[in-house]
Structure 1
Amino acid sequence: MKYWIWIVGLWSCAAPAQLATTNFVEIEQLMQKEARPLLVFFYTDWCSYCALMKQKTFADQALIKELNDNYYLIFFDGESRETLWWNQVKMEFVKRGLKSGTHQLATYFAEQKGVVTYPSLVFLTDQYQKIYQQNTYLKASELHALLQVIY
């Protein structure tokens, strides 16, 4: 019995760290407590590269530690039907077809040449100024290297 307790204790200590994320509603309060750079991951449910980044890239323990310690991270569905306020402007889903559309926040932050592609990573300062945008799949090592260069 003592061995089981010891094994369970070791297993709980070795549990992987969880990625801390926030949302657009809470970010202003967090920034007031502690200003940090912001990384926004725009994805959709149908995007296979987005799902791969969630499963692989954002599961890397070294990257999780770096993001949790130094950044605020928002995962945002570019097709969300949620109405939000950003910079005193009402942002909502804009229908573009029978079943398709884009949330105005995705358009505002992630649009390039009139199109929002997924996955999109948008890097912002603590004052919400866009520093850089990456519209492609990134491995954990590539995202880590990008964070070192950008911030």
Structure 2
Amino acid sequence: MCFSAQAQGIKWMSMNDALEAQKKEPKKIFMDVYTDWCGPCKLLDKKTFHNKDVVSYVNKNYYAVKFNAEGTEEVKYNNFTYTNPNYNPDRKGRNSQHFFANALKISGYPSMVFFDEKANLIAPVVGYKTPKQLEIYLKMIYSNDYKKLTSTEAWKDYESSFVSTFTD
């Protein structure tokens, strides 16, 4: 029986596992920062992260990390262990923000965060994105084109000349 990339889905891992994997095989990290109560996060999961083009591109070119910004996972990053000491398991809806999400300056959900091959933060992208909207970021960061985009004008030129191949 043959399974398509879409059926298999994105191969999510923890940030700690991605950092370990980078030591053996350097690759950029693509992180989905979500919360349990966030409607657009659920839509991103359902629509964008199950799109066959997104699944295929992310699995091939990135370590994909799923991170609950209000969860309790311990993250060891840059010689520091990030936790969520104010997490309240009895709380319904919003909870306290994980210190790692805070360190990444996450200002909204969902956020997709990109790291280079040495786990240095590149940039967060805030908000729901369709597969076509996410494609430009996935490809720009994978190809290192983002390093050339040093002005708003350069970004506008890049964006206007970008040719999408993903389907929505």
Q: Which amino acid aligns with 2:137?
A: L
Equivalent residue runs for 1:22-101 within 5 Å: 22-95=13-86, 99=91, 100-101=95-96
CA contact (8 A) 2:73 2:83 kept: yes
**Structure-2 separation of matches of 1:14 and 1:30:** 25
Match of 2:103 among 96, 100, 108: 108
Q: Which amino acid aligns with 1:109?
A: L
Q: Give the gaps of 5 or more residues in structure 1.
A: 1-11
The answer for the alignment partner of 2:140 in structure 1 is 149
Query: Does 95-104 or 140-149 show the bigger shift?
Result: 95-104
TM-score using structure 2 length: 0.74
The answer for the alignment partner of 1:130 in structure 2 is 121
TM-score using structure 1 length: 0.81
**Structure-1 separation of matches of 2:103 and 2:46:** 26
CA contact (8 A) 2:72 2:87 kept: no
Note the C-alpha offset of 1:14: 4.7
Greater share of strand: 1
Aligned pair count reads 136
The answer for the alignment partner of 2:109 in structure 1 is 118
Larger Rg: 1
Query: Does 64-73 or 89-98 show the bigger shift?
Result: 89-98
RMSD: 1.9
Note the C-alpha offset of 1:94: 4.3
Note the C-alpha offset of 1:69: 0.6
Identity percentage of aligned residues: 25
Q: Give the gaps of 5 or more residues in structure 2.
A: 143-168
Structure 1 ranges of 4+ moved more than 4 A: none
**Structure-2 separation of matches of 1:29 and 1:85:** 10
Q: Which amino acid aligns with 2:15?
A: F
